[in-house]
């Protein structure tokens, strides 16, 4: 584990390597504790580089046993080897040369799960971002592309399966007990895309015929006995391949595409060329063990990793500062895929919920950074929602500004021009400028300026002149390292909704650039005047969430209700309901804090119940509308000095008022949507279950008794209904006999299924109240809990820290102290996991002073540890000092 304070890497310091890597030949002799890795690397000096410049290769905790230069043992005077680097001097000035380096590594002891590791009998790699240097000495950076030939030798009985990137060349026996397999990837790739898997796994196989008529073999490897649960993943893969051909014109380029599902994995999945490695929670599903959300996640992540074949693999990023170029772009592509597979409006609502709950706080806190950062200490800490989700939103805004046709032309040009390249954000944007003829220089500030733009809006209608004037002012808050910001180009979709619910059309619009239904806000302050408007319309702004901004628009409750009833954009209708709810919820939190009785607006409740009862709306949308802003949303709206207990109490009071008033309506919804027929994971079935279960939640709240939820638990024939009923019981009636029986039954039924037990852990970890800490500590002693498995840790400790505001933010600070102990225990074995968990404390300054002081003390305890990893040191320093 690296425990240095970390060298700051700057974008401005980028320069190409001194040597060009032409070819990589790797031979692995696998052994649980003594794996031998032979790397034969062919280089030549880059033209114009100083003839005395040495070759410097990266390493991380490596042991070298041999070093050859052109197959001759190299004089020790010509090189310097440490566990972290290999420097070779006196190299040829112009001709290619070969370096052969042999290292010994211990996969069994690699608990960091970076590089080559062995877990549950399976050898597996994870090389992004800098894991390959834990395998062998190498120029381990994304702009070093080469073709790879891989030879794997291993015990045949223990490892009948030997996989790597590219196409299979062949294999045979190797001595009495071993065998070997050879793979060749003809497409140059960076080291972070290297993959190796060896072990004994079951197989699900299929084929896909590409648009040019080639047959591609598809293979998904899972643990034996779990093959039937990979069927949906295979279906999602085939749909992804077809969609990418139809929408982006991208065809798969190898003879085989493989997915391997493993249970010990730091990430969700990894797009290694031709050999994707997945956390098994994003591959395995059946109705008994997976929720509708699990199915949706599998579909999206399978697609995301496959889409990387072009946006990430065929075209990779020049350096890690360009990470959004592969991740943000690919998130946009998987969002569009999911929108086409499911309900576009409901998918968009879910995306924005996630963005606001995760990325907006990141943008507003000490960990804020631009979509394309300019410096980092530890690159693993920049796999963030800013890079992924906000990066996706930036791509979406390009599509909004240019329109469908010019956006497609820009993407086509990008694929054509940069296939085989390590590209930059500037390369990407230039393609759209050339394809459309539009100057995107101001728009590019979205890549360079951190922070969520705040837009203040006002409107004035002149009945005599029949004009509407819309005045907008943008402000981007200061963020770490960026105190002054320039005005952004912000595309805002809009509609003017008449009294009868139709959309009014202006005869002319003055004051700025308007294309179709998009206002282009480019100045700090700007007014748009709409002429020919016969009566005062209601303004619907930022429809479809066309820009990731926060609007401050003092619209009346009547205007918001009008949008909620009539807007043709379902996202805008949902947003209007949210805007109606937030003042009610924030007022309730303040009232609860002050010890008063919470009073809920009848007009808000009436508007909400009207949407719930509207059978013309799809069930999934109504379920989203009934899902009120979360406690985290309320805290963000309050802005600071937050008391999580008061926020929880206020929100519960509002929910109870809705439940009591709408009890009959919820009973009707529950009865109407309970008979959904045979389980199907499609959008229609999932929407009906979502609406049914939120109706169940409200009814249980109105009745204040566990019987209805206990009955639903007993009758459930799928995991969505089962886990929702269990959640209602545990969260509303944690001490009830029915709840204890249901938790015990769930544990017994799924004792052999770790992924399902993760739900059992998470449901209990999020039971509100101060007693949850004792519950979490007791669950850590469960035989089902494995502290070395990232999924188990995330399901219990991570869910508690990120998803239980009242329990984690106990007023006495005990949970913060517990959390600090866990971070310090996890860090030595898995720094990535520890660092990502630690971000749960990024918003500690927004707490009321007593809690904030205790959270700061816990962070200081972590900071004081003398042996922190670079990963954790980077996060704790920024969170404390940012």
The helix (H) or strand (E) run that includes residue 386 is: none
Tell me the pairing of strands 256-262 and 215-222: parallel
Residue with tokens 């009745």: 703
Hey, how many other C-beta atoms are within 10 angstroms of the C-beta on 106? 16
Residue 40's nearest CA partner among 125, 97, 122, 81 is 97
Half-sphere exposure at residue 557, Cβ-oriented, CA atoms within 13 angstroms: 13
End-to-end CA distance of the chain: 25
Residue 13's nearest CA partner among 423, 374, 447 is 374
User: Residue 32, class by beta-carbon neighbours within 10 Å (0-12 exposed, 13-18 middle, 19+ buried)?
Assistant: middle
Give the integer Cα–Cα distance in Å for 26 and 182. Answer: 10
Tokens of 759: 């739900």
Task: Name 664's Cβ contacts closer than 8 Å, sequence gap at least 6.
Answer: none
Residues facing residue 275 across a β-bridge: 258
Ramachandran angles phi, psi of 109, nearest 5°: -90, 0
The helix (H) or strand (E) run that includes residue 554 is: none
Residue 34 annotated as catalytic? no
Give the integer Cα–Cα distance in Å for 188 and 17. Answer: 16
Residues facing residue 468 across a β-bridge: 461, 530
Q: Of 223, 271, 305, 358, which is the active-site residue? A: 305
Give the integer Cα–Cα distance in Å for 675 and 682. Answer: 16
Residue with tokens 């089902």: 784
Task: Name 316's Cβ contacts closer than 8 Å, sequence gap at least 6.
Answer: 142, 143, 145, 189, 190, 193, 326, 421, 422, 423
Tokens of 105: 């590594």
Q: At what angle do helices 683-703 and 644-661 cross, to 10 degrees?
A: 100
Hey, how many other C-beta atoms are within 10 angstroms of the C-beta on 829? 16
Give the integer Cα–Cα distance in Å for 307 and 52. Answer: 42
Q: To the nearest 10°, report the CA torsion of 753, 267, 354, 818.
A: 80
- What are the Cα distances from residue 824, in Å, to 813, 835, 837, 865, 868? 17, 10, 11, 8, 8
What would the DSSP string read from start to end of 45-71?
EPTT--TTPPEEEE-SS-EEEEEEETT
Mapped onto helix, strand or coil, the DSSP state of residue 449 is: coil
Tokens of 445: 């500030």
Give the integer Cα–Cα distance in Å for 761 and 797. Answer: 9
Would you please indicate which residues are annotated as catalytic (active-site) residues? 305
């Amino acid at each position: 584990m690296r425990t240095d304070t970390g060298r700051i890497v700057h974008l401005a310091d980028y320069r190409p390597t001194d040597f060009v890597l032409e070819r990589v030949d790797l031979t692995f002799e696998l052994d649980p504790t003594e794996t031998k890795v032979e790397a034969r690397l062919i280089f030549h000096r880059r033209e114009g580089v100083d003839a005395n410049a040495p070759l410097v290769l990266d390493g991380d905790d490596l042991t070298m046993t041999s070093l050859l230069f052109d197959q001759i043992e190299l004089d020790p005077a010509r090189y310097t080897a440490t566990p972290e680097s290999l420097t070779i001097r006196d190299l040829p000035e112009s001709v290619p040369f070969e370096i052969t380096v042999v290292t010994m590594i211990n996969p069994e002891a690699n608990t960091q799960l970076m590089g080559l590791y062995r877990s549950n009998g399976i050898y597996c790699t994870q090389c992004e971002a800098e894991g390959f240097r834990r395998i062998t000495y190498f120029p381990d950076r994304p702009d070093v592309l080469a073709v790879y030939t891989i030879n794997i030798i291993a015990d045949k009985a223990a490892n009948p399966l030997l996989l790597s990137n590219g196409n299979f060349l062949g294999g045979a026996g190797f001595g009495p007990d071993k065998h070997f397999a050879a793979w060749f990837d003809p497409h140059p790739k960076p080291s972070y895309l290297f993959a190796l898997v060896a072990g004994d796994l079951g197989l699900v196989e299929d084929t896909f015929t590409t648009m040019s008529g080639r047959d591609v073999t598809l293979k998904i490897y899972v643990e034996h006995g779990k093959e039937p649960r990979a069927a949906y993943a295979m279906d999602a893969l085939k749909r992804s391949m077809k969609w990418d051909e139809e929408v982006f014109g991208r065809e798969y380029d190898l003879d085989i595409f493989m997915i391997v599902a493993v249970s010990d994995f730091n990430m969700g999945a990894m797009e290694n060329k031709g050999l994707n490695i997945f956390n098994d929670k994003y591959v395995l599903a059946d109705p008994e063990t997976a929720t509708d959300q699990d199915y949706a996640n599998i579909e999206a992540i399978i697609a995301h990793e496959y889409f990387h074949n072009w946006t990430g693999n065929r075209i990779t990023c020049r350096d890690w500062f360009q990470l959004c170029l592969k991740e943000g772009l690919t998130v946009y592509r998987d969002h569009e895929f999911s929108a086409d597979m499911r309900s576009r409006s409901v998918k968009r609502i879910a995306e924005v919920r996630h963005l606001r709950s995760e990325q907006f706080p990141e943008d507003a806190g000490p960990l804020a950074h631009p979509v394309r950062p300019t410096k980092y200490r530890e690159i693993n800490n920049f796999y963030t929602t800013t890079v992924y989700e906000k990066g996706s939103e930036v791509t979406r805004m390009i599509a909004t500004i240019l329109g469908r046709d010019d956006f497609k032309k820009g993407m086509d040009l990008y694929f054509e021009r940069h296939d085989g390249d390590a590209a930059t954000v500037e390369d990407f944007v230039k393609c759209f400028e050339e394809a459309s003829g539009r100057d995107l220089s101001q728009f590019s500030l979205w890549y360079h300026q951190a922070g969520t733009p705040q837009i203040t809006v006002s409107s004035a209608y002149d009945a005599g002149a029949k004009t509407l004037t819309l005045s907008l002012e943008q402000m981007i808050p200061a963020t770490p390292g960026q105190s002054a910001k320039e005005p952004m180009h912000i595309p805002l979709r809009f509609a003017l909704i008449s009294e009868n619910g139709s959309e009014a059309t202006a005869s002319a619009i003055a004051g700025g650039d308007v294309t179709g239904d998009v206002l282009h806000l480019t100045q700090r302050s700007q007014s748009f005047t709409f002429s020919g408007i016969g009566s005062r319309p209601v303004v619907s702004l930022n429809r479809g969430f066309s820009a990731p901004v926060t609007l401050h628009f003092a619209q009346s409750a009547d205007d918001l209700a009008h949008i909620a009833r009539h807007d043709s954009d379902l996202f805008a209708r949902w947003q209007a309901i949210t805007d109606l709810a937030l003042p009610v919820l924030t007022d309730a939190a303040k009232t609860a804090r002050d010890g008063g009785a919470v009073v809920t607006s009848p007009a808000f409740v009436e508007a909400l119940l009207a949407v719930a009862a509207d059978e013309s709306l799809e069930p999934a949308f109504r379920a989203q509308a009934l899902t009120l802003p979360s406690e985290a949303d309320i805290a963000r709206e309050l802005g600071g000095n937050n008391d999580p207990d008061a926020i929880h109490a206020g929100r519960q009071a509002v929910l109870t008022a809705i439940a009591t008033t709408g009890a009959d309506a919820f009973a009707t919804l529950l009865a109407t949507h309970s008979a959904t027929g045979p389980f199907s994971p499609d959008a229609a079935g999932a929407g009906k279950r979502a609406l049914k279960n939120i109706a169940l939640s409200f009814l249980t709240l109105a009745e204040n008794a566990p019987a209805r939820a206990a009955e639903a638990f007993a009758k459930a024939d799928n995991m969505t209904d089962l886990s929702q009923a269990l959640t209602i019981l545990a969260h509303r009636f944690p001490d009830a006999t029915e709840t204890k029986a249901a938790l015990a039954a769930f544990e017994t039924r799924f004792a052999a299924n770790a992924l399902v037990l993760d739900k059992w852990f998470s449901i209990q970890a999020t039971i509100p109240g101060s007693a949850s800490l004792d519950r979490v500590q007791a669950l850590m002693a469960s035989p089902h809990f494995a502290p070395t498995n990232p999924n188990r840790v995330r399901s219990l400790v991570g869910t508690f820290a990120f998803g239980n505001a009242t329990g984690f933010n106990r007023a006495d600070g005990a949970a913060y102290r517990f959390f600090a102990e866990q971070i310090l225990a996890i860090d030595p074995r898995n720094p990535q996991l520890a660092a990502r968990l630690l971000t749960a404390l990024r918003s500690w300054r927004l707490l009321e002073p007593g809690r904030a002081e205790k959270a700061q003390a816990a962070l200081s305890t972590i900071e004081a540890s003398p042996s922190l990893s670079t990963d954790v040191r980077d996060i704790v320093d920024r969170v404390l000092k940012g």
